[in-house]
Amino acid sequence: MLGKLIKHEINATGRIFLPLYLIIILLSLVNRVLTNVDIFNGPLNTIRVFMIAAYALSIIATLVVTFVIMILRFYKNLMSDEGYLMFTLPVKSSQLINAKLVVSTLWNIISIIIVGASLLMIFGTSNNLQMLREFIDFGLMSLKANFGNKYVLLIVEFIFMMLVSLIQQIMLIYVSIAVGHLFNGHKVLGSFASYIGISTIMQLIITLVLVVWAFMAGSSFEELEAIPQLVFPFSIIIASVFNVLFYLVTNYIFKRKLNLE
Quick one: 77 and 149 in the same domain? no
Residue 100's domain comprises 1-124
Per-residue pLDDT, 42: 62
Instruction: Give the residue from 95, 124, 153 where a domain finishes.
Output: 124
Q: What does the alpha-carbon distance between residue 174 and residue 245 come to, in Å, rounded to a whole number?
A: 12
Per-residue pLDDT, 46: 76
Per-residue pLDDT, 45: 72
Question: In degrees rounded to 5, what are phi and psi of residue 112?
Answer: -65, -40
CA atoms within 13 A on the CB side of 220: 3
Quick one: 223 and 191 in the same domain? yes
Quick one: 95 and 211 in the same domain? no
- Summarised one tens digit per residue, pLDDT across range 30-52 is 888 877 766 556 666 777 788 88
Quick one: 229 and 216 in the same domain? yes
Quick one: 78 and 149 in the same domain? no
Number of domains in the chain: 2
Quick one: 154 and 103 in the same domain? no
CA distance between the termini of the chain: 27
Per-residue pLDDT, 220: 46
Q: pLDDT under 50 in the chain at which residues?
A: 220-221, 224
Per-residue pLDDT, 44: 63
Per-residue pLDDT, 221: 44
Per-residue pLDDT, 22: 92
Quick one: 87 and 143 in the same domain? no
Quick one: 133 and 253 in the same domain? yes
